[in-house]
Amino acid sequence: QVQLVESGGGLVQAGGSLRLSCAASGSIFGVNAMGWYLQVPGKQRDLVAKITSGGITNYADSVKGRFTISRGNTNNTVYLQMHSLKPEDTGTYYCNLQAFGFRKHEYLYWGQGTQVTVSS
């Protein structure tokens, strides 16, 4: 019963900043990575940023230099600091947790999403 809860979304003007937070709870083992994905209506859910348990990060090209993903010290927590927001950053941001279970089966857990709207 893994649960991921996102927060921090909102309405901002272009050029503004937001910080998204995600906290995972429940019976979690073998966490490999946590990340943030963006979904807009009619489109697939795309990777924005992810961070592995070893601290290795990956970013979508569109957010490099503007967004920073980081982990919290306690619990399974991940943050996404977003700067210089653009209207195209608008959408629902979903927190994702990747874990490996028995025989390296991959499990993906998702939060309910937090809405980010960037006005021009």
Contacts of 106 (CB under 8 A, 6+ apart): 32, 98, 99, 100
| Tens-level pLDDT at each residue, the chain (120 residues) | 899 999 999 999 999 999 999 999 988 778 899 999 999 989 999 999 999 999 999 999 999 999 999 999 877 899 999 999 999 999 999 999 999 888 888 999 999 999 999 999
**pLDDT, tens digit, 9 for 90 and up, residues 66-100:** 999 999 987 789 999 999 999 999 999 999 999 98
Contacts of 44 (CB under 8 A, 6+ apart): none
Residues 6+ apart with CB under 8 A from 108: 96, 97, 98
Please, what is the end-to-end C-alpha distance for the chain in angstroms?
A: 40
Residue 24 CB-half CA count within 13 A: 27
